[in-house]
Structure formats: structure tokens, C-alpha cells
């Protein structure tokens, strides 16, 4: 979509007023960044999780993951974005179809494509720019890649177990049992067998998830240092 309709009174909409009240203008601005991204770079107004769009905004807008999640959860609950898609890690804004501009409609008719199949290859996120952003973050891989490696690499799991045992001064067998439970829980497959439980989350940071898991287990104390 080349452009979309934006009402000059959008800010006075009740949902927008609640959004501003809850998250300030930064939340309002973040929502419209989502709309712009879905309109310019989404196939059928959907940006897939594998595009790492949350990581992109984290670096581009300097917004923390937790703040993003809070705003996204509110947007999903108020149906400003699609809730089911968000649970899969996708960004989907169905209402954008109604905002389709005249230029896009003409292009679709000319190319004899369906309403949801307009070519978007020239206006996708600049992949090179996204790679630059990742390099700027000291070479750290996106959360999904870290999680995928952790759950598939037994040696990495053993390294984490050893680090935790040293930090907490806890018997390594106890740590091994807890990490085993953690891995078993989050690698459970969905009904169709296409995804593991951790892959169905909007975001998954292994380090934070392990800390939270251990904080709920007697004998472990909260630590601020990173595990991974």
C-alpha cells in the first residue's frame, strides 16, 4: 500500500484516547509506526514473526521489549491489532484493508491481482538496514535465534546449567533437573506439531524466562547478571 487514509481526528477516538492516557504519546506514536510497517511491508497487511519486527523497532525507536509487550497487549485487547496473530509473533492489522488508497486499488485492478496480493517487494523493510541495526547491538542475535539455539543445543544447555550452579552455589544435579523441566515445558509441540510452545509466544528471551522460572523455585535467589 502506497499510503492509507488517516483521519485528522484520529487522536480523539476513544481507543486512541485510552492509549494515550495509558502509555502517553510514545504509545500513540508506536501504534502508528506499526500501522506504517504493516501497510508498507506486510503481505496482506501482516508482518511475519521471522522478520523480527519487534527487534527492529527496539533498535530503531529505542523502546524496551517489556514496554513494547505492554503496548502490544493493550492494542490486541482493544482490537487495534489482531490478538491471535500477535500470539504467534506476527503483526496483523485487518482494518488496513479499509484504509486502502485509490492508487493501490488502481494498481490492483491493473495487475488483475486480488485485493490482498499487491506487490510489496519494493517497499519492504530494507534488509541491509536491519542487519546494520543488529550489528550495532554488539553482534547480539535476535531473541528467537538465541532461543532456537538453546533448545536445540544440548551442549549450550549444559553450559548454562554449569553457570547457574556456580552463580547460585547450588548442587548441579538440582539445576540440571530444573533446566530439564524448563526445556521439556517450552519444547512441547502444539496440536498440529508445527511449533513448539516457546515459538507461540509474542517474544521469548531465554535469559529472562530462565530467571523467572528459577525465582519460582525454592532455593534460588534473584540474580541480576545474565545467564546467557
Residue with cell 519444547: 187
Q: Are 57 and 38 in contact (CB under 8 A)?
A: no
Encode the chain (228 residues) as per-residue pLDDT tens digits. 555 666 667 777 788 888 888 888 888 888 888 888 877 766 677 888 887 888 888 777 777 777 888 899 999 988 888 898 889 888 888 777 666 555 455 555 555 444 444 343 433 434 444 444 444 444 567 888 899 999 999 999 999 999 988 887 888 898 999 999 999 999 999 888 888 999 888 888 999 999 888 888 766 654 444 555
Q: Are 1 and 96 in contact (CB under 8 A)?
A: yes
The overall longest dimension of the chain from CA atoms, in Å, is 69
Distance CA 172, CA 184 (A): 18
Q: How many residues does the chain have?
A: 228
**Residue 170 φ/ψ, nearest 5 degrees:** -115, 145
Amino acid at each position: 500500500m502506497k499510503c492509507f487514509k488517516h483521519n485528522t481526528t484520529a487522536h480523539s477516538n476513544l481507543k486512541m484516547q485510552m492509549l494515550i492516557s495509558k502509555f502517553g504519546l510514545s504509545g500513540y506514536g508506536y501504534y502508528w509506526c506499526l500501522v506504517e510497517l504493516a501497510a508498507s511491508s506486510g503481505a496482506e497487511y501482516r508482518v511475519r514473526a521471522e522478520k523480527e519486527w519487534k527487534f527492529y523497532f527496539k533498535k530503531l525507536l529505542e523502546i524496551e521489549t517489556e514496554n513494547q509487550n505492554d503496548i502490544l497487549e493493550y492494542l490486541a485487547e482493544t482490537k487495534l491489532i489482531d490478538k491471535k496473530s500477535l500470539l504467534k509473533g506476527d503483526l496483523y492489522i485487518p482494518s488496513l484493508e479499509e484504509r486502502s488508497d485509490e492508487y493501490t486499488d488502481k494498481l490492483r485492478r491493473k495487475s488483475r491481482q486480488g485485493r490482498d496480493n499487491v506487490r510489496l517487494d519494493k517497499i519492504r523493510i530494507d534488509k541491509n538496514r536491519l542487519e546494520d541495526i543488529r550489528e550495532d547491538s554488539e553482534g547480539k542475535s535476535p531473541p528467537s535465534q538465541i532461543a532456537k539455539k538453546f533448545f536445540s543445543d544440548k551442549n549450550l544447555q549444559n553450559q548454562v546449567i554449569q553457570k547457574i550452579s556456580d552463580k547460585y552455589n547450588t548442587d548441579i544435579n538440582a539445576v540440571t533437573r530444573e533446566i530439564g523441566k524448563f526445556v521439556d515445558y517450552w519444547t512441547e509441540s502444539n496440536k498440529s506439531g508445527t511449533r513448539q510452545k516457546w515459538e507461540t509466544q509474542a517474544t521469548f528471551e531465554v535469559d529472562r524466562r530462565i530467571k523467572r522460572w528459577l525465582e519460582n523455585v525454592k532455593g534460588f535467589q534473584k540474580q541480576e547478571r545474565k545467564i546467557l
